[in-house]
Amino acid sequence: MIAEPDFFIAGAPKSGTTAMDNFLKQHPEIHIAGRKDMNFFGSDFKPPHPYFFERDKDKYLAEFKGAEGKKCAGESSVWYLYSKRAAVEIKAFNPKARIIVILRNPADAIFSLHGQRLLVGIETIVDFRKALAAEAERKQGKRIAPRTPFPESLLYREIYHYTEQLQRFIALFGRENMHIIIYDEFKSDNTGVYRKLCEFLGVDSNFKPVFSIINPPVKLRNQRLNRFLQVPPITIKSAVKALLPRAARQFLHDRLHDLNRNKDKREPMPLDLCRELQREFVPEVERLSELLNRDLTHWTKT
């Protein structure tokens, strides 16, 4: 009987973890926590906003109450891989845990993460190039947006240095208890990648979920309106709360969000900046290729 998670999708951000979480939820032999990104492990991150981290063990374990009769249970939290403490804490929690990681081309992932953070009001520097240039100041605690879950999450380049992060998990869990997925392959062959993951988890690999697009790319019409909706002034928030019932407030909030989102794709990263990032990540990608015994150097050449 499963009463707690025995596998963890540990990252990386903007690499398909939400999609995989959704697809695994459909499997009749798997229980996935209803709440994604609880980030229960990773005590090195000290979040100013508890919403982003579930630190209450009872509430965390409550997400697995429906796991009875399932062959395995798990959860997805994209900051485990980046954390320097999560691997040790997961090992202490469940020494036999299995770890799943999805890796994406760092240059593409960084750009995607910046766009997503603009969308939810965590990032306040709209220009991608300027956001990258601000990393040195952000290491000093400067230019941190009010809704940032933890300051380290704005250090875009460091988030995608996978080799050291993977080594922490491999050292504790062993390569045989880790399943590493390459985002490009997941995107091009949902069925094949899903089947191999099911085999790793020991569940029916013939089951085929409904593969749908999760988190389609959007861009904002107005950044100021987005920041207002994400963090409204206390006086306005209190006034609206006094005037409207909860359902009406939620409807208004969601409607304004929808109106402020343009379903057209975000403009691509400037080619010169893309090439600059790719050159910067050459040593990291070479180390990762050696660690995984597979050639990923095309990430630095496209």
Rounded to the nearest angstrom, the gap between the alpha carbon of residue 268 and the centroid of all alpha carbons in its chain is: 21
Low-confidence stretches of the chain (pLDDT < 70) are: 1-2, 48-51, 213-234, 236-265
Which part of the chain has CATH 3.40.50.300? Answer: 7-201
Q: What is the pLDDT of residues 164-187, one digit of tens each?
A: 999 999 999 999 999 999 999 999
Backbone angles phi, psi at 164, to 5 degrees: -60, -40
Reading the block at residue 20, the tokens are 């995989």
Dist. CA 76–CA 21, nearest whole Å: 7
Burial of 255 (0-12, 13-18, 19+ CB in 10 A): exposed
Backbone angles phi, psi at 63, to 5 degrees: -70, -10
- pLDDT for 163 equals 98
Q: Which of 32, 55, 35, 58 is nearest to 44 (CA)?
A: 55
- pLDDT for 243 equals 63
Dist. CA 238–CA 232, nearest whole Å: 10
- pLDDT for 164 equals 98
pTM assigned to the model: 0.84
- pLDDT for 1 equals 47
Q: Which of 194, 178, 198, 177 is nearest to 186 (CA)?
A: 194
Architecture in CATH for domain 7-201:
3-Layer(aba) Sandwich (3.40)
Burial of 248 (0-12, 13-18, 19+ CB in 10 A): exposed
Reading the block at residue 161, the tokens are 């240095």
Q: What is the pLDDT of residues 13-30, one digit of tens each?
A: 999 999 999 999 999 999
